[in-house]
Structure 1
């Protein structure tokens, strides 16, 4: 019987159902886990003996950079990353290359080897969405989706400045449907637009050039739009001043903006097909928490501010995070935050790519190496662990939103 599988005698771990290492049989029918199979179904099922092995739900990477123009910039500017790490073609697999920015086939195999089944591209510029989807479809073995970069979008900055949440929501709804994306990404709100003039914003109430909108207004407005539309994920926030000593303060203040954010009750939006679930209480996803959690005033006295942010998150229900852990060794840093990458270029002198996507945002790419002997790099490594260990509720560390399982987004892409 096609699609019917019985996985026998494995050590099963399923935190959602409070199963912790019990030896159990798992049954799969038509691509879904079921409680049991009939005698006829068992007779025709494919059996897998998992004795001595771990059986667990597939991993979900809710924030990665795996497809699109930014990733391709990293691939093209790093030949040294590719010739050292290659994958030979076999009867079952394609060839591939790359270590920190692998080719699409190799990244699919690498993720699957680590137990992942779902990966989300964290920053899709709308004008680059078509090619991003082409790469996601070419990546084997994984369900994939992405978040649309909208925090410095010309139209949205204008609507939010005018306080027209209904028009902003209509625009976001059209953009999501047109570009087949799954959530709103906000990178260095109001600041990336300033980068077109070689400037940035450094506080939540500093207005940017031309649009005269502040990060506070951008974050609050996009979260209201997110809740009005009933989006399946909260606003995906890359906070201002990321990666700079002392940035934990603006990060915590940014999270406070969204405490209790709900759509405005006086709005009558006829085209909105979704009704807000009153149980929804998670309005912001703080991306790569470690990079947003530096304390201190300079690289000479920088220290961890993770504990302060973790204590806030532990006492609030509206925030989920990913940790932003960094391993030692080679990396390719890529982000929609152009000013942050330029600052890294000034620190390292490494080759550097900077891009402006017209009317939508920007990006930066730079090769980087994390050294054990470097005090700041060792601090970052430890801060990543703090993010994992100090958040009391594991469902807040990565994204849950009360769903019993993650989704396949190929249905909409």
Structure 2
């Protein structure tokens, strides 16, 4: 294409929409799976309809949250710079932590790593900050337990495991994160002992065949499972169970419970007990209509219950939100199409086929790498319960082999979570 042709093509593109003599500004807070999905989709729409998209994230590196257990076991992940993932999209990337949100002024204060602070204005804000482990409810968890909240916290556990290779690791929480972490650590550190502690059997939200498989796999990996126990306190030398028994451990990994990051609550938005933004069926804040939330940052209620924080549900919310980001149309809009997701397959009952989500190519390369565990997010909702499970390396063996169950009649899916 010649320079003249390029100039002509650029001239035919619609310019930015001006709202009160300024460009319509969409700001997405958080560049995880859902934030990237929302920002990339919004950018494509603004290229046609006008406007500008800004993506704010504390790190310029894309964090593969589903792979934090691999870092914790001592593995290194590929470096995936966010600027590379959004190259050519027209998105402005701002590296910094969203410190304050002022809904009255429609501004966000962002603090960079060097302490410099800047203020970004918005017409529409999207909160996609994810969640962190709840280390507040149980005494001692915040001081003595490791978490998988970030690459930094996961790397701290890896350092401890390297320093005490023969020590015992107590993994608290028998959900999918705890199961996968226990399996990965046991596989990578066969000289130590891994104890998985939970109120229920591993994978309590899964079907009976899946739970049986997990039990056999964990036994094969040497993971000692203690179900039906509650942790009352985390100590420097292990955990204390309700009733007073102490389980000695060189390291404690906390994977049970979660809470949303506090930005929304501190800004005065309506939030639920976990700090998630209470949204309507178009993911718009019920208290502040110019703010939206996706993924773990949103309390998304469906007819069958509140969406659980997994990529299976989170990525579709980002994909949905990207279709709603647009500057105000010239004429009054019609009623927005509400978000509707099927119950989590393999959780509320036998699996059910949902709507696949196919991320953009560069994002897909980041979140859907090849590996023994398969592509966890490819065709979300199509392969259950495997689609619920993050990809991994050796320790993912505890979760391999799960196969889709027969597709049920609609009435069989609508049971309790």
Q: Please tell me the TM-score bracket, short chain as reference.
A: under 0.3
- TM (norm. structure 1) is 0.28
More helix per residue: 1
